[in-house]
Amino acid sequence: MGTTMNRQWLLATRPKGMVKESDFRYQESPIPELSDGQFLVRVLYVAFEPAMRGWMEDRASYIPPIQLGEVMRAVCVGQVVESKHPSFQPGDCVTGGYGWQDYVVTNGRGGLMPTTPIPRDVPLTMPLSVLGITGLTAYFGMLDVGKPQAGETVVVSGAAGATGSVAGQIAKIKGCRVIGIAGGAQKCQWLTKEAHFDAVIDYKSEPVEKRLKELCPNGINIFFDNVGGDILDAALANLAPKARIVLCGGISRYNEEELPPGPKNYFALILQRARMEGFILIDYASRFGEAIPELAGWVASGQIKYQEDIQEGFENAPKVFLRLFEGKNIGKQLLKIADPPLARK
Amino acid sequence: MGTTMNRQWLLATRPKGMVKESDFRYQESPIPELSDGQFLVRVLYVAFEPAMRGWMEDRASYIPPIQLGEVMRAVCVGQVVESKHPSFQPGDCVTGGYGWQDYVVTNGRGGLMPTTPIPRDVPLTMPLSVLGITGLTAYFGMLDVGKPQAGETVVVSGAAGATGSVAGQIAKIKGCRVIGIAGGAQKCQWLTKEAHFDAVIDYKSEPVEKRLKELCPNGINIFFDNVGGDILDAALANLAPKARIVLCGGISRYNEEELPPGPKNYFALILQRARMEGFILIDYASRFGEAIPELAGWVASGQIKYQEDIQEGFENAPKVFLRLFEGKNIGKQLLKIADPPLARK
């Protein structure tokens, strides 16, 4: 089974301001024993989401906060290595909310996310990226909240991120003109060259509000926001009538110690009869089954390109998480912690 | 015709910060001559809306700005005193966008609002209050944007205002529990005693966010906002899942010289999967004909109570406008400038 110890990263302290490595604590535990109806999962890949920063805060939200001393919560891919559960056999590859650890014993239900088998022909990391939380967030956020119509102008912030890049490409599939906002030449180039965005704004070297005005002379019909802050205000200043702002996230806010100011241009929602709406992916759980095959089809046909940023080494988990807030990741941030110990079933 | 001069108030300067009397200039002009297809209206009542503050700014919006030296734009009630127009006869009472002046010559079309006849049995001020812009704004904002469902909790800011009070009572008619936020004991008392609001918060003497938490233990389903600022933030902090924030206005912002900060709690829109949406009444013009009879029916049955604050004297127009921003008006702010000179037809 690779190791005989279960390495774990726990939440050590509630972060103040920017999350740091010392907010986590490393420990080694024995590998837990199985009871009837349970199975043992060897974790292979850990996925990192900006939203995890919110789960570390001690406040009621759409899911309970991570407790101090609790294993860091995360969606993972793993392989079943022992089983006393009729539906899961050693060798099965699975995805679920296993957390930052080598091993977990589970009955397959409960927690962040129930265990779901991964079909044999699906690459192991895909259920963590384009066919997982991030792809599904892009899918329901763009289609259900944004409701793109052919010919509309769509702007995506955090456009080179795992969710933003898929959201923009879905809008392209629906016939929209799509403009991405991202930081740095490498990300911007990927968006126009590979992901076929119509235009891109590099917020690190260009004035976003001015560029939006130039690129969207008739205004923005849909703004899909992963960032908040000044970028949200720049979009509000350039809305088309009846615009929809899809609030997906606000990575500029997550590590602020004090609540930052809100969007000073929110009054544009009145002047443009526009709407700003948030959503949470878990509300759409009953419809994942319709979304995943459609996303998989778009990936297979080349209409959706995606990137994964796969780091290695369990010991690096906190460092890898920080990459999200440093803007270092290109595409979905993953951490590989092991190869499958058994032949894949 | 009462006077032989046309008294007028013009926009003299673009206001900086709080609007003041010196932003307006008084002048007297000759009463204009009629051409074929036109009629002469004697203005009787002028209506004042907080939105007029926005029309005084030099920026593109849903209607063009008032030009310097132009008569202040306003919705008014008047009486036709001379006519070369086949559809309007001397004695007809009418409503339209006549402005701050004694007389206007018009063909009945164009401008802020086309001329509409007032049926003989309708009190002259009603087309400026509960059956006019403010009642219609409450009607479409609450019903079309807010979409109240029986049993929901609805909070209205600026609740004793002409729009807020009607919006709250429409939510009551639809079976909601309605809480008003208003300033001062007199306004609050009217809301619970006369307008049958379920509860009221006096923002001048009570902590709004804390009181909302107490009064809305399951959160706010609809927040109908006329105020913005801290009151909007207090509501955002107390949203129910799937809440709707109807952005009707933001009177706390209109006289700020610098753009004030936005709602720092806007991220609650994500956590509560909520939506914040603005609207502009003129978009609903084709449906006024369905709304006015329904509003009139609710007034006749006593389900909607309304108040008018009728000041007198044309010379007082700027002072009366300022009452809106001083929180002095109780109900719709009107200015009476003349009695009908002819028998009403």
pLDDT digits (tens, 9 = 90+) for A290-300: 999 999 999 99
For B283, the closest of A264, A273, A279 (CB atoms) is A273
Contact (CB, 8 A) for A201 and A208: yes
Test B265 with A262 for CB contact under 8 angstroms.
Answer: yes
For residue A224, the distance in angstroms to the closest alpha carbon of chain B comes to: 13
pLDDT above 70: residue B86:
yes
Q: For residue A3, what pLDDT is reported?
A: 58
Contacts of B265 in chain A (CB under 8 A): 259, 262
Arch. (CATH architecture) of A5-129+306-336: Alpha-Beta Complex (3.90)
Q: What is the pLDDT of residues A25-44, one digit of tens each?
A: 999 999 989 999 999 999 99
DSSP 8-state symbol, A142: I
- Note the pLDDT of residue A154: 98
User: What residues of chain B lie within 8 A of the CB of A268, using their CB?
Assistant: 278
Name which residue leads in pLDDT, B252 or B226. B226
Contact A278 B269 (CB under 8 A): yes
- Alpha carbon separation from A99 to A48, A71, B197 (Å, rounded): 10, 6, 49
β-sheet bridge partners, residue B201: B181
Q: Work out the minimum CA distance from A295 to partner chain B, whole angstroms.
A: 23
Q: What is the DSSP letter of A68?
A: T
pLDDT digits (tens, 9 = 90+) for B189-222: 999 999 999 999 999 999 999 999 999 999 999 9
DSSP 8-state assignment for residue A45 = E
Q: What are phi and psi of B76, to 5 degrees?
A: -140, 165
Closest-approach residue (CA) in chain A for B270? A278
Closest CB to A280 among B228, B233, B273: B273
Residue ranges of chain A that CATH labels 3.90.180.10: 5-129+306-336
What sign for the dihedral angle of Cα A247, A252, A255, A259?
A: negative
Residue A135 corresponds to which tokens in the numbers above? Answer: 């792809």
Q: What local confidence, expressed as pLDDT, does residue A1 receive?
A: 43
pLDDT band at A257 (very low <50, low <70, confident <90, very high): confident
The mean pLDDT of chain A is 95
Query: How many Å apart are CA B279 and CA B275, to the nearest integer?
Result: 13
Residues of chain A contacting residue B273, judged by C-beta atoms under 8 Å apart: 277-280, 283
Q: Of A143, A11, A129, which is closest to residue A71 (Cα–Cα)?
A: A11
Query: Each residue of A86-124: pLDDT tens digit?
Result: 999 999 999 999 999 999 999 999 778 889 999 999 999
The mean pLDDT value for B229-252 works out to 96
Question: Residue A275: which of B265, B277, B283 has the nearest Cβ?
Answer: B277
Q: Cβ separation of A266 and B267 shorter than 8 Å?
A: no
- On average, the pLDDT of chain B sits at 94
Residue contacts between A and B (CB atoms, under 8 Å): 99
Which residue among B61, B274, B276 places its CB closest to the CB of A269?
B276
Task: Report the gap between the CA of A189 and the closest CA in chain B (Å).
Answer: 30
Radius of gyration (Cα) for chain B, nearest Å? 20
Q: Does A275 contact B275 at a Cβ distance shorter than 8 Å? A: yes
Q: Where in chain B is the domain with CATH 3.40.50.720?
A: 133-282
- Cα atoms in the Cβ-side hemisphere of radius 13 Å centred on B144: 17
Confidence (pLDDT) at A296: 95
DSSP A261: P
For chain A, which residues lie within 8 Å of any Cβ of chain B, measuring from their own Cβ? 61-62, 228, 233, 247-250, 253, 259-280, 283
One CATH from 3.90.180.10, 3.40.190.10, 3.50.50.60, 3.40.630.10 for B5-129+307-336: 3.90.180.10
Distance from CA of A59 to the nearest CA of B (A): 12
Q: How many C-beta atoms lie closer than 10 Å to residue A32's C-beta? A: 13
Residues of B in contact with A243 (CB under 8 A): none
Query: Which residue shows structure tokens 């709602």?
Result: B263
- Whole-number pLDDT of residue B4: 76
- B27: how many CB neighbours lie within 10 A of its CB? 14
pLDDT at A126 over 50: yes
Note the pTM of the prediction, 2 decimals: 0.92
Residue B1: pLDDT over 60: no
Residues of A in contact with B64 (CB under 8 A): none
Question: What residues of chain B lie within 8 A of the CB of A274, using their CB?
Answer: 277-278
Residue of A nearest to B230 (CA): A262
Tell me which of A220-234, B57-71, B121-135 is least confident: B57-71
Q: Where in chain B is the domain with CATH 3.90.180.10?
A: 5-129+307-336
Q: What is the dihedral of CA B212, B218, B222, B227, to 10 degrees?
A: 10
| pLDDT reading at B3 higher than 70 | no
Q: Which residues of B touch A224 (CB under 8 A)?
A: none
d(CA B241, CA A258): 25
Task: Give the separation between CA B157 and CA A256, rounded to whole angstroms.
Answer: 30
Q: Which residues of chain A neighbour B271 with C-beta distances below 8 Å?
A: 61-62, 278, 280
CATH class of B133-282: alpha beta
Residue B284 is predicted with a pLDDT of: 95
Report residue B120 as tokens. 């003989």
* pLDDT tens per residue across span A68-81: 999 999 999 999 99
For chain B, the three-class secondary structure string (H helix, E strand, C coil) is CCCCEEEEEEECCCCCCCCCHHHEEEEEEECCCCCCCCEEEEEEEEECCCCHHHHCCCCCCCCCCCCCCCECCCCEEEEEEEECCCCCCCCCEEEECCCCECEEEECCCCCCCCCEECCCCCCCCHHHCCCCHHHHHHHHHHHHHHCCCCCCEEEEECCCCHHHHHHHHHHHHCCCEEEEEECCHHHHHHHHHCCCCCEEEECCCCCHHHHHHHHCCCCEEEEEECCCHHHHHHHHCCEEEEEEEEECCCCCCCCCCCCCCECCCCCHHHHCCCEEEECCHHHHHHHHHHHHHHHHHHHHCCCCCCCEEEEECHHHHHHHHHHHHHCCCCCEEEEECCCCCCCCC
Predicted-complex ipTM score? 0.90
Closest CA relative to residue B230, chosen from B208, B249, B246: B208
Candidates B270, B281, B283: best to mutate against A (most CBs of A within 10 A) is B270
Q: Do A278 and B259 touch (CB under 8 A)?
A: no
Model pLDDT for residues B273-326, shown as the tens digit of each residue: 999 999 999 899 899 989 999 999 999 999 999 999 999 999 999 999 999 999
Half-sphere exposure of A117 (CA within 13 A, CB side): 12
Instruction: Give the nearest partner residue to B262 out of A265, A277, A278, using CB atoms.
Output: A265
The yes-or-no verdict on residue A269 having pLDDT over 50 is yes
Q: One-letter amino acid identity for A79?
A: Q
CB nearest to B261's CB, from A247, A264, A270: A264
